[in-house]
Amino acid sequence: GLLEVQFPFSDPTADGVYIQRACADALTAGFTVDDGFRLVERLVQRADAPQVFVMVYANLAFRPGIEPFMARCQGAGVRGVIVPDLPPDYDEGLYATGRDLGLEVVPVVPVTAQVERLRTVLETSRSRFLYTALRKGVTGGYTHISEESVRFLQEAKSLGVSTMAGFGISERAQVEALAPLVDTVIVGSAFIRALLEAPEDADPYRTVRD
């Protein structure tokens, strides 16, 4: 399986209310990037370990330096990274560094993009993975799987890339509609919402810390 681990950031520009709250709670509790890497290392050491993809915003990768950050990801056992605000043609060397280190760098493309843009991104990034954002805006709100989305995902599949799809997935019917079109369905906000809507006497983040 695949597991996306997002490192909290103070200005999560693509995230809706639930992930924003989770990021704010984590930062208020003292989260650091070191904590994030320690969590990843624990995850990849499990006998049933998934392939872990670390998602960060550009500042967390750029500030320590792209190469040191990516080397740290490699050392932690990360399969790949997702940096949505560093597209392949303005990536500060992210994609080349990933190739040098054997890490997948996953471009993020909205399903509203032109097919020409999709082809350019894949040719430039040389990535074997693609993260498709199923609508414009931020995560969290319900997303209808439109005919436009289906056509885009079919085009991506025809190009031989392993496609992930996310943004607003919270119901079984959405997953069933996407299943023939993508390799991975990403669920984030719905997971956090379930934690936050746990009984009042429960600690919503207990399992994350344990």
Active site residues: 4, 15
Residue 170: closest CA among 134, 128, 120, 124 = 134
Spatial CA neighbour of 15 closest among 52, 43, 57, 46: 57
- 10 Å CB burial of residue 14 (0-12, 13-18, 19+) is middle
Q: How far apart are CA 111 and CA 131, in angstroms?
A: 10
